[in-house]
């Protein structure tokens, strides 16, 4: 006998391809500029809110993305030392010019 819980999971729905196609239709792609601006706003407005999560929720609702998505973008920047790839490349160029 198949448990009720197992029957309701998407991977057991009978037709996994249809479920994956529907998920891809709902996916929104954000430009790098939008991502960078949203992350910058999180860091700028962090002092005005009680927590980083409250800032993320606020900004995510304004740019029409989920808070989890914006949190992922913020974590990526935090793990890279706070600079995007373009910023790091620009920093390297400035360092070379200075030397």
Domains and CATH numbers, the chain: 31-98 (1.10.10.10)
pLDDT the model gives residue 4: 47
Place of tokens 């914006």: 70
pLDDT in tens, 28-47: 788 888 998 999 999 899 88
pLDDT at 23 over 70: no
pTM score, whole prediction: 0.57
The values of phi and psi at residue 73, to 5°, are -60, -45
pLDDT grade for 70, boundaries at 50, 70 and 90: very high
Q: What is the pLDDT of residue 78?
A: 81
Contact (Cβ atoms closer than 8 angstroms) between residue 32 and residue 43 = no
71 burial class (0-12, 13-18, 19+ CB within 10 angstroms)?
middle
Rounded distance between C-alpha atoms, residue 84 and residue 99, angstroms: 23
CB-based contact 41:59 (threshold 8 Å): yes
């Amino acid at each position: 006998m198949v448990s009720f819980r197992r029957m309701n999971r998407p991977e057991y729905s009978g037709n996994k391809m249809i479920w994956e196609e529907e998920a891809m239709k709902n996916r929104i792609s954000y430009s790098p500029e939008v991502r960078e601006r949203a992350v910058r706003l999180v860091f700028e407005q962090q002092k005005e809110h009680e927590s980083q999560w409250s800032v993320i929720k606020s900004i995510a609702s304004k740019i029409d993305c989920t808070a989890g998505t914006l949190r992922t973008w913020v974590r990526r920047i935090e793990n890279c030392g706070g600079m995007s790839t373009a910023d790091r490349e620009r920093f390297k160029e400035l360092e070379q010019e200075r030397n």
